C-alpha cells in the first residue's frame, strides 16, 4: 500500500468515526475538513443553515476563473435496525474492502480529496479550485439547496465533479426527488355512530388507489435519455399516518408520496397533475365536510449535463467503462446546476451497498479515485 493511500485510509477512518447521521449535528466533521483545507492553503467559508448544520466551501486560485468544483455530502443514513457484522462507525478492513457507514456514500471521496490536497501545488493554480461539502443530502439535498442564498452573487467554476458511488462510471444525468404530502381531513365522531363523521383514513385509501393509477400512467411516458435505469417518473407511496384511537372516526390522515421526476420535469408541473388527478376525490370529500390538501414538502431537481464536457474527457482514463450513463438516485448536482455548474457524478464504490448493512468501498477504487483527483485538478486548474 502506498504512503499516500495509507493517509487517505487513515483519514477515512476518522471520518467514519463521526456518526453524522442526518438527524445529528455534523459540525465536528465539518470543522475537521475545514481545518485540513485551510492547512493546505485554501480559503474556507462556513455557512450555518441551522444549528449543527453547516456547509463548507473552500477555494484556492484566482477567484472567478473557470476551474473545477469538487463536491460531496458529509451526512450519512442511519444504521438503526440494520444487521451489521462490524461496528458501522469504526472502519474495518477485510478482503480488499473498507467497511463502515459512509465508506462509499460518500466519505471515501471526501477523504480522497482532502488527503490529496497537500501534495498539490495549490498556490500555483491558474484556475480556481472549489470544494463544496454539504449537509443533509440524504434527506433532500437540503444543504446544497441553501447554497443559492449562501453563495449569492458568486460565480462558481462551470464544471463540477460529485463523488457519489457510481462504481467509477461517468454519469451525467439522474432523476430528481420530489416529496408530496397529501392530507385527508374528515370529521371525527364516536365509532359507534360512524355516519355522524367522515373517515379520513377511508379518504386516504381512495387516494392511494388513485395514486397507483397515476403511477401506471407516468410509467407509460418513457424517456429516450440514455443511461436511466427507469426511464420514466417513478412513484412510491412511502408513509401513511392517521387516526388517534380505535373508538374514534379518524379526522386526519396524511400520505407521503415520493416521486423521481425525469430530468426536465418540474415539480410544479407534476404537483399540478397530481391535484387534477385527485380533484374528484377532493370534491366528494368537500361535499361531506372534508377535504384533500396537497403540499410539496421537498424538491430536489434532476440533473442533465450535456455530453462531451471537458470534465468528461478528463475522467475517462480512470473510468471503469467507456459508456457515459446515469444514476437512478438524486444528488446535489441538480441544485449545483441552478448555480451554473455542469456536474458529472463519478465515485468509488457501488450504490448497491450504500444505505445497507456492511457498506464498503473497495480499496482499489479508493486508490483510483485519489489518483484521478490529483490528475484532474492539475489538468484543469494548472494551465500551462
Answer with the residue of higher pLDDT: 136 or 229: 136
Residues 253 and 332 in one domain: no
- 137 is an active site residue: yes
Residues 20 and 169 in one domain: yes
Q: Please, which pLDDT band fits residue 3 given cuts at 50, 70 and 90?
A: low
Q: Please, which pLDDT band fits residue 227 given cuts at 50, 70 and 90?
A: confident
- The pLDDT value recorded for residue 126 is 96
Selected catalytic residue, list 105, 115, 128, 137? 137
Residues 211 and 288 in one domain: yes
- The pLDDT value recorded for residue 229 is 85
Among the candidates 278, 300, 322, a domain finishes at 300
- The pLDDT value recorded for residue 214 is 98
Residues 159 and 21 in one domain: yes
The DSSP output letter for 318 is G
Q: Please, which pLDDT band fits residue 364 given cuts at 50, 70 and 90?
A: very high
Q: Report CA 137 to chain centroid distance, whole Å.
A: 4
The string of pLDDT tens digits covering residues 168-184 is 999 999 999 999 999 99
Q: Is the pLDDT of residue 283 over 90?
A: yes
Mean of pLDDT values over 9-37: 97
Q: Is the pLDDT of residue 99 over 90?
A: yes
Residues 220 and 262 in one domain: yes
Among the candidates 300, 325, 345, a domain finishes at 300
* CB contact at 8 A, 191 and 275: no
Residues 75 and 49 in one domain: yes
- 48 is an active site residue: no
Percent composition of the chain: helix, strand, coil (DSSP 3-state, to 5): 35, 25, 40
**Which among 73, 133, 127 has a CA at the least distance from the CA of 105?**
73
Residues 132 and 113 in one domain: yes
Residues 277 and 354 in one domain: no
Residues 31 and 145 in one domain: yes
Residues 41 and 152 in one domain: yes
The enclosing H or E element of 92 equals strand 92-94
Residues 227 and 350 in one domain: no
Range of the domain at 374: 3-174+303-381
The string of pLDDT tens digits covering residues 118-154 is 999 999 999 999 999 999 999 999 999 999 999 998 9
| Residue 281: CATH number of its domain | 3.30.70.360
Residues 159 and 134 in one domain: yes
CA angle 299, 294, 248 (to 5 degrees): 125
Q: Please, which pLDDT band fits residue 53 given cuts at 50, 70 and 90?
A: very high
Q: Give percent of the chain above pLDDT 70.
A: 99
- The pLDDT value recorded for residue 384 is 59
Read off the C-alpha cell for 343: 456536474
Q: What is the dihedral of CA 80, 81, 85, 91, to 10 degrees?
A: -10
User: Which residues partner with 182 through β-bridges?
Assistant: 255, 294
CA angle 273, 183, 200 (to 5 degrees): 120
Read off the C-alpha cell for 293: 390538501
Q: Domains in the chain: how many in total?
A: 2
Among the candidates 249, 282, 300, a domain finishes at 300
Amino acid at each position: 500500500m502506498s504512503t499516500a493511500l495509507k493517509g487517505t485510509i487513515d483519514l477515512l477512518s476518522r471520518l467514519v468515526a463521526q456518526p453524522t447521521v442526518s438527524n445529528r449535528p455534523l459540525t465536528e466533521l465539518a470543522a475537521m475538513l475545514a481545518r485540513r483545507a485551510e492547512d493546505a492553503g485554501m480559503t474556507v467559508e462556513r455557512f450555518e443553515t441551522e444549528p449543527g448544520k453547516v456547509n463548507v466551501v473552500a477555494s484556492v486560485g484566482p477567484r472567478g476563473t473557470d476551474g473545477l468544483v469538487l463536491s460531496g455530502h458529509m451526512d450519512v443514513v442511519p444504521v438503526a435496525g440494520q444487521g451489521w457484522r462490524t461496528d458501522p462507525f469504526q472502519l474495518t478492513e477485510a478482503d480488499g474492502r473498507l467497511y463502515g457507514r459512509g465508506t462509499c456514500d460518500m466519505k471515501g471521496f471526501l477523504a480522497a480529496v482532502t488527503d490529496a490536497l497537500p501534495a498539490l501545488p495549490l498556490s500555483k493554480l491558474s484556475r480556481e479550485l472549489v470544494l463544496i461539502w454539504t449537509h443533509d443530502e440524504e434527506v433532500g439535498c437540503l444543504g446544497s439547496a441553501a447554497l443559492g442564498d449562501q453563495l449569492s452573487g458568486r460565480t462558481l467554476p462551470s464544471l463540477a465533479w460529485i463523488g457519489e458511488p457510481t462504481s467509477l462510471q461517468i454519469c451525467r444525468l439522474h432523476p430528481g426527488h420530489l416529496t408530496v404530502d397529501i392530507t385527508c381531513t374528515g370529521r371525527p365522531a364516536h365509532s359507534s355512530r360512524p355516519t355522524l363523521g367522515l373517515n379520513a383514513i377511508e379518504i386516504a385509501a381512495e387516494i392511494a388507489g388513485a395514486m397507483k393509477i397515476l403511477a401506471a400512467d407516468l410509467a407509460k411516458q418513457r424517456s429516450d435519455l440514455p443511461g436511466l435505469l427507469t426511464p420514466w417518473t417513478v412513484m412510491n407511496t412511502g408513509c401513511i399516518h392517521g387516526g388517534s384511537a380505535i373508538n374514534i372516526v379518524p379526522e386526519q390522515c396524511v400520505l407521503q408520496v415520493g416521486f423521481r421526476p425525469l430530468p426536465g420535469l418540474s415539480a410544479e408541473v407534476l404537483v399540478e397533475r397530481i391535484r387534477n388527478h385527485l380533484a374528484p376525490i377532493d370534491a366528494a370529500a368537500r361535499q361531506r365536510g372534508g377535504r384533500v390538501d396537497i403540499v410539496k414538502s421537498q424538491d430536489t431537481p434532476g440533473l442533465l449535463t450535456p455530453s462531451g464536457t471537458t470534465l468528461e474527457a478528463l475522467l475517462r482514463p480512470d473510468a471503469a467503462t467507456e459508456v457515459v450513463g446515469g444514476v437512478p438516485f438524486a444528488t446535489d448536482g441538480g441544485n449545483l446546476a441552478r448555480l451554473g455548474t455542469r456536474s458529472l457524478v463519478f465515485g468509488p464504490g457501488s450504490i448497491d451497498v450504500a444505505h445497507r448493512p456492511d457498506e464498503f468501498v473497495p480499496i482499489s477504487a479508493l486508490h483510483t479515485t485519489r489518483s484521478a483527483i490529483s490528475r484532474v485538478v492539475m489538468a484543469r486548474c494548472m494551465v500551462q
